[in-house]
Amino acid sequence: MDKKDKGLKFYIRRIKEGRLKEMFAQIKWIYGYGKHYWLHMFLYTLLGLVGIGVSLLSGLIAKDLVDIITGHQTGAVIKYFVMMIVYNISTLVINQFSNYLSSYLNMKVDAEIKADIFSKILVTDWESLTSYHSGDLLTRWSSDASTISAGILNFIPNLILYTVRFISAFAMVIYFDPSFALFAFLGLPISFILSRTLLKRMVNNNEKSAQMNAKMSSFNQEAFSNIQIIKSFDLLKLYVKRLQDIQKEFIGMRLSFQRMSIWTSVLFSTIGMLVSYSSYGWGIYRVWSGAISYGTMTMFLGLSASLTGSLNNLTSLFPTVIGLTTSAGRLMDIIDMPQEDYSNDDAAKEFMDKYKDEGISLELSDVSFAYKNGSESVFENASMFAHPHEIVALVGPSGEGKTTMLRMILSLINSTEGEAIIYNGDDKEKAKEIIPLDPSSRKLLSYVPQGNTLFSGTIAYNMRSVKPDATDEEIIEALKIACAWDFVEKLPDGINSEIKERGGGFSEGQAQRIAIARAIIRKSPILLLDEATSALDVKTERKLLKNILKDEYPRTCIVTTHRPTVLTICNRVYEIKDKKLNILDDNEIDKLIRDF
């Protein structure tokens, strides 16, 4: 009684905690994907039903064949033997075709769902997304999405097929000898009790497994991405030890799961054997008493195994549901985060087509911002503006908000107060059109962030990743503006030279210039350079910025820099100080240069 009360209290507590409501929401989310694949599930189910029909018919033929042999009806043996072969071949062909179709549908659905989830992750609010490690995101996208796709395609068809198989086998048993039906249900109460006991552990195991996979993926990704740092600081032994610790934790978890699986398998197998042996003994008794024939007994033994297997298969769907809802919950954590608003996409494209040749200005008025992690505000009532054919600089100590300001311009983060706009020309009062800065307006901007941002592939591949139709001549021209053509033209393969992962094969300064050329070739009206020339010498940096100024394209350029030596060629210089943006005059700029 106490155990029953304890189990009942557990389920009541879980319902109160909202687990049932949570699982319902997760199943509803899965259904949102599943409803697109009803035809796939119908084909899969139809093939399965045909297979069940052929299997049952094969059992009847086997029954008649045994009866014919034991009855010494030689003339009919060959006929039924041939029929048996034909049906077995038919079963083989159907199974192979079903497996092929199942593999094709699985891959197709998996690819489509992953592509959809990938696109949704990409439009998730950037600041919210940064709370997850990239390795965790990768695990959720690859592993959890595959669990969802496999479950969507298989769960409902399997539920139907296992149920039909059980009902059809049970109907045949009832038709030929109802007494055998009792043995099919011998293990059902025990299976039900075990399944209820194991349900809680299944939920915990799935959650722990997902967390452990994410932890392993995150460690591997960071380690391989930072091999240079690991080598430079001689951290080889430390990282091998860290890997071994994670592996030890992973192995311990898997062995714990394996022990539970072994225990469960032994119990269910024992139940299955008891049912089978009981059926076998009862069959012998019924044959010995003359109630049934040898063929009927053979058929009953097969049907008994089918009934027991169907029940076990139906029971095994519980872990599938748990795995599905766990994976759905992990993906919903990401997808249910705030999404970026691209509703102004058409308006932004039309705005760019109209005014890109005239030039576009940018203006921030009294903007304020604080990160969602509860830290104090970065800006309060900050204002700035930049016009075509200008280079505007942002200076200030590290951590004061230069990069944050560029992220705000890119709408990766959103101001809590104030206004951020763009308009045509260089005079707001005479502007024909003014639109807000939002995710849709990113098509008007090019961005070169800090660090190495090149893709693996050729130089041309990197350039065409932002302008797919770029000609070789356009690529070379952009490289010239970025002061990169001097070294690229000397490479054996020129613009078709390979760039390794993270810019491997090029110096930091060379990688920066290629990244700037990539931003230039896009011909965006606004160019943002975040410490993008930090690895260049002052002479090359000044030449590059002058090239941008001399370029006929009416580009508005905003740069952040720690080196004030290039500030003399900038049209305006804003200093980030005390959460404000203050324009520096010539004397203040001269003082920055002297104090550098």
Given a cut of 50, whether residue 167 has pLDDT beyond it is: yes
pLDDT at position 11, please? 44
Note the pLDDT of residue 59: 65
**What's the 3-state SS for 379-416?**
EEEEEEEECCCEEEEEECCCCCCHHHHHHHHCCCCCCC
Query: Looking at domain 36-335, does it have CATH number 1.10.240.10?
Result: no
Mean pLDDT of 297-318: 70
pLDDT band at 591 (very low <50, low <70, confident <90, very high): confident
Residue 43 pLDDT level (bands cut at 50, 70, 90): confident
Tokens of 250: 């992973």
359-450+522-595 and 36-335 share a CATH fold: no
Q: Which residue has the higher pLDDT, 213 or 575?
A: 575
Of residues 531, 388, 523, 510, the one with CA closest to residue 448 = 531
Burial of 158 (0-12, 13-18, 19+ CB in 10 A): buried
pLDDT at 422 over 80: yes
Asked whether the beta carbons of 424 and 433 are under 8 A apart, the reply is yes
Q: Identify the three-state secondary structure at position 562.
A: coil
Residue 116 has pLDDT above 90, yes or no: no
Residue 206 has pLDDT above 70, yes or no: no
DSSP 140: I
359-450+522-595, superfamily in CATH?
Answer: P-loop containing nucleotide triphosphate hydrolases (3.40.50.300)
pLDDT > 90? residue 480: yes
Question: Of the spans 60-64, 150-154, 434-438, which averages the highest pLDDT?
Answer: 434-438
**Helix locations, 71-184, DSSP H:** 74-122, 126-129, 134-139, 145-176, 181-184
Euclidean distance between CA atoms 260 and 249, whole angstroms: 17
Q: CA 228, 229, 230 angle in degrees (round to 5)?
A: 90
Mean pLDDT of 427-447: 90
Sequence-separated (6 or more) residues with CB below 8 Å from residue 391: 545, 548, 549, 557, 558, 559, 569, 570, 571
Give the dihedral sign, CA 144/214/503/128.
positive
Mean pLDDT of the chain: 80
Q: What is the pLDDT of residue 5?
A: 45
* 228: Cβ contacts below 8 Å, ≥ 6 apart: none
Q: Residue 70 has what pLDDT?
A: 64
pLDDT at 4: 42
Q: What gap in Å lies between CA 574 and CA 567, rounded to an integer?
A: 10
**Cα Rg, the chain, nearest whole Å:** 34
Q: What residue segments make up the domains of the chain, in order of their start?
A: 36-335, 359-450+522-595
> Mean pLDDT lowest for which of 141-150, 194-203, 530-539?
194-203
List, for residues 484-524, the tens digit of each pLDDT value. Answer: 999 999 999 999 999 887 777 888 889 999 999 999 999 89
Q: Are 325 and 385 in contact (CB under 8 A)?
A: no
The pLDDT score that the predictor gives to residue 463 is 92
| Per-residue pLDDT at 8 | 45
pLDDT surpasses 70 at 370? yes
* CA–CA separation, 10 and 15 (whole Å): 9
CB 515 within 8 A of CB 481: no
Per-residue confidence band for 191, with pLDDT thresholds at 50, 70 and 90: low
| Structure confidence at residue 434 as a pLDDT band (50, 70, 90) | very high
Residues in CB range of 158: below 8 A, 6 or more apart? 313, 317
Give Cα 213 distance to the centre of its chain. Answer: 14
- Supply the pLDDT for residue 574: 93
How much is the average pLDDT of 287-305?
70
Please give the Cα distance from 106 to 91 (Å, whole number): 22
Residue 7 has pLDDT above 70, yes or no: no
Task: Identify the weakest region by mean pLDDT among 40-44, 203-207, 567-571.
Answer: 203-207
Share of the chain above pLDDT 90, in %: 20
Q: Quick one: pLDDT at residue 487?
A: 93
Whether residue 542 has pLDDT greater than 70: yes
13, pLDDT greater than 60 = no
Residue 242 has pLDDT above 80, yes or no: yes
According to DSSP, the residues that pair with 558 across neighbouring strands are 392, 528
Four-point Cα dihedral 409, 410, 414, 415, nearest 10: 0
Residue range 84-104, pLDDT digits in tens: 677 777 777 777 777 777 777
Residue corresponding to tokens 């993926």 = 217
Does the pLDDT of residue 187 top 50, yes or no? yes
- DSSP lists the bridge partners of residue 382 as 367
pLDDT at 6: 44
